[in-house]
Amino acid sequence: MLISTKTLLTTAQAENYAIGAFNVYNLEGVRAVIAAAEAENSPAMLQIHPGSLKHGGLPLVALCLAAARQAKVPFSVHLDHSSAAQDIKTALQAGLVSIMADGSHLKYDDNVTFTRQMTTLVHQHGGFVEAELGRLTGTEDDLTVPEHQSKLTDSDQAIEFVNQTQIDALAVCIGNVHGRYHRPPQLDFQRLEAIRNNVAVPLVLHGASGLPNSMIEKSIEFGVCKFNVNTEIRGAYLTSLKENLSLPNSPDLVPLMQTAITAMQAVVVKKLRLFKSVGKA
Ligand SMILES: [Zn+2]
């Protein structure tokens, strides 16, 4: 069933577990995430990156919303990392009312202005806004941020940012990165704790692919209630395709897609268990 991101995240926050937000690109990704969540009786989120929106357009939004409505467990559909007002307006018109308005590439004051404007707009549609304070490095789809531009979230600025923008969830930068971790990840849990003590809104951690289980568990303890997962699912998809296409008698398209779904589904199941959302549907 399709429910609001607000309900999903505030329930998770109150009950000390986290919602997995899984980036999808096509029918196979959507089927994998929903099958995993249904098998584990877990709530979850389908998430569309702007790169994916550019590729799939409104039919992809319609697919995600229809699949979420039909799912046996609670789902919301979310637009990831949107720094373009036009993308956000297009999404709202298509019925996608859970949005990450990402002004993290802007100077602080401009980030506040952009985020506040987008939040006002999304709230007029009864929607939900996630925004980022600080700057995540790494690569996700067509978005690459070099390491020297990284900036961790300041816990005092976080209070001001949430108050000034009226956002519904805050994405934190505490050493997490998009894509692959090129050295062992180090998360600043003291910083996370300080942010958690300062703001009441749900906290989000991007770049959950490649974080050790212990760090995920600790992040949940310190108040993270949404994890974004992209890289590991894509990896499972691509590996499955490569392996099967290199067989002497490679399978036809439908069995090939089915095998890829199964491979992605296994990754999603592992994450849902780690996020402790299993049985919470
Ligand atoms: Zn992200």
pLDDT digits (tens, 9 = 90+) for 222-261: 999 999 999 999 999 999 999 999 999 989 999 999 999 9
- Looking only at the bridges linking them, the beta strands covering 143-145 and 138-140 are antiparallel
**Residue of 80, 102, 141, 168 with catalytic role:** 80
* Length reported for the chain: 281
Residue spans of the domains in the chain: they are 5-274
Distance 255 CA to ligand 1 centre (A): 31
Record the tokens describing residue 256, joined without a space.
């090939």
- pLDDT at 107 (0 to 100): 94
Residue 237 to residue 256: CA distance in whole angstroms: 10
Distance 71 CA to ligand 1 centre (A): 25
Span 181-209, average pLDDT: 93
Per-residue confidence band for 11, with pLDDT thresholds at 50, 70 and 90: very high
15-60 per-position pLDDT tens digit: 999 999 999 999 999 999 999 999 999 999 999 999 999 999 999 9
- Looking only at the bridges linking them, the beta strands covering 169-172 and 44-48 are unpaired
More confident residue, 208 or 220: 220
Burial 260-271 (b: 16+ CB within 10 A, else e): bbebbbebbbeb
Above 90 in pLDDT, residue 63? Answer: yes
Distance 254 CA to ligand 1 centre (A): 31
Surrounding residues of ion ligand 1, Cβ less than 5 A: 206
110-164 per-position pLDDT tens digit: 999 999 999 999 999 999 999 999 988 787 777 777 766 678 999 999 999 999 9
**H or E element at residue 172:** strand 169-172
Longest dimension (CA), the chain: 60
Distance 262 CA to ligand 1 centre (A): 24
**H-state helical runs in the chain:** 5-15, 27-39, 50-70, 85-93, 108-124, 155-165, 189-198, 213-221, 231-245, 253-274
Distance 228 CA to ligand 1 centre (A): 7
- The topology under which CATH files domain 5-274 is TIM Barrel (3.20.20)
- pLDDT at 167 (0 to 100): 98
- pLDDT at 256 (0 to 100): 96
Distance 79 CA to ligand 1 centre (A): 11
User: Active site includes 188?
Assistant: no
